[in-house]
Amino acid sequence: MQLNIYVPKDKQDIVRKLDAAARALGRPKNELVIEALEKYLRTNSPTVRLGKYPTRVIGSLSRTDIYGDRVKE
């Protein structure tokens, strides 16, 4: 899979720092970026909370209530 991103001119220094870090560590830039994204998403992803809904049927429905005039009596 491939991910291309646009880097604005005012953020190009970050790419230069990434190049320097990759050279210093002897690792590919893509590995460093993926590792940083994984750490960021692990620590900053919002927790998904599901709503609470009743687990029982409230009231009763007949077949006619559900299917209307499609039901043959």
Residue 35 lies in a domain: yes
Residues of the chain with pLDDT below 70 are: 57, 73
CA–CA dist 18, 20 (Å, integer): 5
What confidence score (pLDDT) does residue 32 get?
97
Residue 60 lies in a domain: yes
Q: The pTM is what?
A: 0.57
Residue 32 lies in a domain: yes
Q: Are 25 and 32 in contact (CB under 8 A)?
A: yes
Residue 4 lies in a domain: no
Q: List alpha helices for 8-62, DSSP H.
A: 12-25, 29-44
- Give the chain's domain count: 1
Structural domain including 15 reads: 9-70
Per-residue pLDDT tens over the stretch 25-40:
999 999 999 999 999 9
Q: How far is CA 8 from CA 11, 12, 25, 35, 67, in A?
A: 5, 7, 25, 22, 57
Residue 29 lies in a domain: yes
Residue 2 lies in a domain: no
